[in-house]
Amino acid sequence: MIHFHVTAQAREGSARCGVLHTPRGPVHTPAFMPVGTQGTVKGGDAGRMQETGAQMILANTYHLALRPGEETVAALGGLHEFSGWSGPILTDSGGFQVFSLADRITVTEEGVEFRSHIDGASVHISPERSIAIQERLGSDLIMAFDHVVALPNQASVIEEATWRSVRWAARCQRVAGRSDQMLLAIVQGGLDASLRRRCARELAAMGFSGYAVGGLSVGETPAEMYAALDAVTPELPADRPRYLMGVGRPQDILAAISRGIDLFDCVMPTRNGRNALVFTDAGPLRLRNAVHERDRRPVEQQCPCPGCRHSRGYLRHLFQAGEMLGPILASIHNITYYQRLIAGAREAIAGDCFAEFYREKLRGWGVDPQADRNAAPGSGRARSV
Amino acid sequence: MIHFHVTAQAREGSARCGVLHTPRGPVHTPAFMPVGTQGTVKGGDAGRMQETGAQMILANTYHLALRPGEETVAALGGLHEFSGWSGPILTDSGGFQVFSLADRITVTEEGVEFRSHIDGASVHISPERSIAIQERLGSDLIMAFDHVVALPNQASVIEEATWRSVRWAARCQRVAGRSDQMLLAIVQGGLDASLRRRCARELAAMGFSGYAVGGLSVGETPAEMYAALDAVTPELPADRPRYLMGVGRPQDILAAISRGIDLFDCVMPTRNGRNALVFTDAGPLRLRNAVHERDRRPVEQQCPCPGCRHSRGYLRHLFQAGEMLGPILASIHNITYYQRLIAGAREAIAGDCFAEFYREKLRGWGVDPQADRNAAPGSGRARSV
């Protein structure tokens, strides 16, 4: 039922536009999903999220299974009715928590035993269980359960986790039974281009409806991440959506779009917003800085978000005074910024001027692409914890 | 420029409707002001506040003078542009902080020396200084600087503070110079009916445009508070607005309306909302309770607020998971609840059925008015800290 088609392709590079048709409406790609780990995007309700231009949001299998539990979500009408978000929802599989909660897990071929980060209770997630939870939650796009490891790491550890992820993807494919859900496989392989390529080929041969690139933004430099993408995307079927998980900074998103990525999610807009950092076309602003104290200008003149109906001075005051409206407005602004950025990218691709768009954005942000590729690892990190 | 007139008067009791005409629009009374101590009502931005039905909001002189400073507010266009709230704003004078920050002050006849609750710096507020700050902030209704003391207290302490408040009100009246602002005097007098009456008469003779009843909801029972109101309101000129400061619980508001009060403010809707308590016509709900876990009903079926687009189960989940959307939605619901309650009261007064309205609300809440009058002191407390 859910299907994808490419609608435009840049002449230079691999950037492309597409539409993901879902029963809950179309998603025009490239698209950015705000992260709503626990069934709410931090900073606003579903109505506010829609106003940002977001088309699809992300929620998390592990977190929702623990609290309130997928049976409770189902009893409350499923994830859409639960969260109030009537558009498409993608759920991550819990695989990322194998990385982010690494000190609380035991991995076997069968699956993963977590000691709950909430109350220490033992929670088992296997490929089959992850799919069962996601079917119960009722999300539209669901993810295969994968084994994510930190980078850098021993080659043997990465290789083992990669092939385990492939075997687990096959188990997910075998049990995924809802025709109204699209299952995406996740390519692993660390920073080893050959391993990434082989993993992508293997999964491509299995005929998934969509593919993700996972295990990135977990401790590598942007250059390393881009190199991994360069290895993977050519191996993925061109007619299926490609999703780069948990990435990232605005420049990472444009770099990945130019490499043929269609879908993104990241906590950066909300996490940074809560910490008083807002994104603009002239680079980020730290709202706590004294320079903003009496500045009557909005964060961005042309931004339609509710935060930009206020002055920088007022936003600074909210953060200084510890008022919750500061995090709310800065988060909404940042999500709106990401949506406007990616809508601009779509338009540029369709108008065949993506390369210019990309260069102009980097110039505005003051980012030297060469220097930036070697930026500190993890600065763009961000699948949810 | 700002003027008030009574538009309806209940046949039984002293409840009345009126309109406060301000350059920023009319305020239909009885009216409830959400509290935005630091220039933001906790829970939402100005747009969301307007959707609740709020007509006027309250901000605080002491808090804004300390942070960001009235000069900064003025540089950012004044309180309305600063906060984004384009309707009328009332500023409290700082007098309540003489009570709430009692361990940080020195009172003399000249004024009050505060040690800032933020950085310990010495801050002087006198009647003249309070008016000067409020003129700089640019609020529409401004309050005389008064001396609020805790209850119970020694008779001599209360008496001294009461007459000092009268002398300070005269000093405020002398210096208040903006024709677009309405200055309200504040009746003090603790629980001493005779002192309250004398204070009210004295202030009434001074010809203020509006009157407030202050120094209540600071440690007395509802019965004591109502008795103080019974003493005061008959002494106040019927053609001037009457404002009961910092009160209170829904039943306190109806009790005060029946005694002729026109204006209210209270942190109860927002403070309780942040703590997962929501008001309904069937009494308050504690959203953390397990009973709500799988309840698909909204908090109130007929409520138009954004919180009531969600199930009780979802709201409970938000609080359990520590998500900021819980406090946001519960606060907005509670403010909306208060606005709907007071709009219902206006309608009932205009339709001459306030007594029935009042009885029906108490029945719905399960409140026995006799028993409630002796409720624990301070349960309805709430000018801002």
DSSP for A285-319 reads EETTSGGGTT--S-S-TT--SGGGGS-HHHHHHHH
Record the pTM: 0.96
Taking CA–CA distances from B313, the nearest residue in chain A reads A76
Identity of the residue in B45, B82, B327 whose CB atom sits nearest the CB atom of A329: B45
pLDDT at B376: 73
| Whether B265 is catalytic | yes
CB within 8 Å: A68 and B313? yes
Residue at B243: amino acid letter: Y
Binning pLDDT at 50, 70 and 90, where does residue A246 land? Answer: very high
Average pLDDT over residues B83-103: 95
How far does A71 lie from chain B, in Å, by closest CA?
Answer: 9
Are the Cβ atoms of B84 and A309 closer than 8 angstroms? yes
Provide CB contacts within 8 A for B174, sequence distance 6+: none
Q: Which pLDDT score is estimated for A377?
A: 66
How far does the CA of residue A75 sit from the closest CA of chain B (Å)? 6
Strand partners of residue B58: B35, B90
**Set A146, A265, A281, A372: catalytic member:** A265
- Examine the pLDDT at B382 and tell me if it is beyond 80: no
Q: pLDDT for A83-138, tens place per residue?
A: 999 999 999 999 999 999 999 999 999 999 999 999 999 999 999 999 999 999 99
Which residue is catalytic, options B252, B262, B265, B372? B265
Q: Is the pLDDT of residue A5 over 70?
A: yes
What percentage of chain B has pLDDT greater than the value 90? 94
Q: Tell me, yes or no, if B153 comes closer than 8 A to chain A by beta carbon.
A: no
Give A26's pLDDT tier (boundaries 50, 70, 90). very high
The answer to whether B44 contacts chain A (CB < 8 Å) is yes
What's the whole-number average pLDDT of chain B? 95
- A140 assigned to active site: no
Can you read off the two tokens belonging to residue A195?
A: 């391993």
State the Cα–Cα distance between residues A29 and A51, nearest whole angstrom: 18
CA distances from A297 to A289, B44, B179 (A): 15, 21, 30
In the numeric block, which tokens belong to residue B214?
Answer: 């202050």
Q: What is the mean pLDDT of residues B3-9?
A: 97
For β-strands A122-125 and B25-29, DSSP reports them as unpaired
Q: Give the pLDDT score at A12.
A: 87
Residue A67 predicted with pLDDT over 70: yes
The alpha carbons of chain A give a radius of gyration, in whole angstroms, of 20
Interface test with A, best of B72, B76, B305 (most A CBs within 10 A): B76
* pLDDT at B379 (0 to 100): 52
Q: Which CATH superfamily is domain A3-273 in?
A: Queuine tRNA-ribosyltransferase-like (3.20.20.105)
Confidence of residue B375 (pLDDT cuts 50, 70, 90): confident
Confidence of residue A382 (pLDDT cuts 50, 70, 90): very low
Closest CA to A343 of A5, A20, A32, A86: A32
What is the Cα–Cα distance from B247 to B241, expressed in whole angstroms? 16
Lowest mean pLDDT among A67-76, A216-225, A345-354: A216-225
pLDDT at B352 over 50: yes
Identity of residue A198: R
Residue B1: the pLDDT is 87
> Cβ contacts (< 8 Å) between B335 and chain A: which residues?
none
Report pLDDT digits (tens) over A177-207: 999 999 999 999 999 999 999 999 999 999 9
- Predicted pLDDT at A1: 87
Query: Is the pLDDT score of A376 beyond 80?
Result: no
Taking CB atoms and an 8 Å limit, are B306 and A47 in contact across chains?
yes
CATH T-level topology, domain B7-385: TIM Barrel (3.20.20)
Contacts of B306 in chain A (CB under 8 A): 45, 47
Chain A residues whose CB is inside 8 A of the B289 CB are none
| pLDDT reported for residue B219 | 83
Mean pLDDT, rounded, for B166-181: 97
What pLDDT score does A59 carry?
98
